Amino acid sequence: MDRILTSPLFKNSKRYPNLLRYVVERSLDANPGHLKERTLGVEVFGREPDYDTNLDPVVRTSAVEIRKRIAQYYHEPGHETEIRIEFPPGTYAPEFRHPQRPAVETAAPAPRWRTLPLVALVSVVLLVAILFVVRPWSARPALEAFWAPVLNSPDPVLVYIGGYSMDQPQEPVSLADLQNSERVAYADATALARIVSLLSTHHKLYRTRLQIFAKLDDLKDGPAVLIGAFNNSWTLRLTGQLRFGFARNPQTHLSWIQDRTNPTAMKWFHDMTAPFVNVQEDYAIISRVVDPTTGRVVVTASGLAKFGTEAAGEFLTNPVYMDQISRQAPKDWQGRNMQLVIRTNVVGRSAGPPQIIASYFW
């Protein structure tokens, strides 16, 4: 625990180390029964005993962030042999596990070089040289493999964020009119910031556009990233041709992700008029496909609601979450079209860690 708390992921914060230290020490004292949200709010964060946990979800939001930072800590090199502290979702009681031990390799008997024919010896040397160049054991990280078709394109990436244009009787004239005519969602802006940061890190040129004011022909100019769902008509156009897409019923106020192999099922849906404090999960579609209309690679980060878009942006830029693809995709997924449906828990007004719940590769 001390090693984790002194790492850069925790040492510059007060809230997260305090909560992690408290729950670990209580568990080691064999007193995990008191690790309830209200108790933690009072004893760790100094809240009043009768405070409203729905209006002040400080414990839940802190726990979500701790889980993310712990996962990132153990993902970094140098921590492979450390005892692991895990903070499972749905509980504030940590678990402790030994790291997985690497398989013990059985040493091969020393070759009898003097009895090998010269041809066999040359063959062995050539095989070793080929293996050293090809390195079949070094798998490409999922994050790099996913973004490779975009990053390797010679053209700049076009990033389109969804938006809303306020209805006006005429074109905006004044500066105030222009500003009021453009609206974007905060969750979409968060996803945009994460994705353009990733592109900048890889020294990839990009251009950002508000989709409602862009032209569809622009998608022919380079690879594209589409952020948003119902506020981005290009996302609806593209996913409308794919297995997983978005649907809504204005009369019932229901919005859902449709699986076109089972179009009557409605597993992932929202009543958009329901109180948001009652929403426990949100969903998103992540796509990486060659658009049949433009012939260009298009990536979508599109949530059923705001939490899904936020989680999609984090999934696409965090190697810890992207590794989920490698664990369930076919071996040659890097060169295929793909769609993922992800789920995220909702904590207050924020999204929790994203998790793949459905996938399709072709």
For 205-246, give the secondary structure using H, E and C: CEEEEEHHHCCHHHHHHCCEEEECCCCCHHHHHHHCCCCEEE
Q: What is the mean pLDDT of residues 347-359?
A: 94
Banded model confidence at residue 145, pLDDT cuts 50, 70, 90:
very high
Query: What are 126's two structure tokens?
Result: 């050539």
pTM: 0.63
Query: What are 326's two structure tokens?
Result: 């490698």
Q: Residue 335: its pLDDT value, please?
A: 93
Banded model confidence at residue 121, pLDDT cuts 50, 70, 90:
low
Query: What are 33's two structure tokens?
Result: 């029964």
Task: Compute φ and ψ for 351, nearest 5 degrees.
Answer: -95, 145
Give 71's contacts (C-beta < 8 A, 6+ positions apart).
320, 353
Banded model confidence at residue 136, pLDDT cuts 50, 70, 90:
very low
Beta-sheet pairing, 206-210 with 157-161: parallel
- Alpha carbon distance 310, 284 (integer Å): 9
Q: Residue 78: its pLDDT value, please?
A: 84
CB 233 within 8 A of CB 226: no
Q: What is the mean pLDDT of the chain?
A: 87
Tens of pLDDT along 245-266? 999 999 999 999 999 999 888 9
Tens of pLDDT along 54-106? 888 889 888 888 988 888 888 888 888 888 898 788 788 888 888 876 555 55
Strand partners, 351: 346
Q: What is the mean pLDDT of residues 10-17?
A: 87
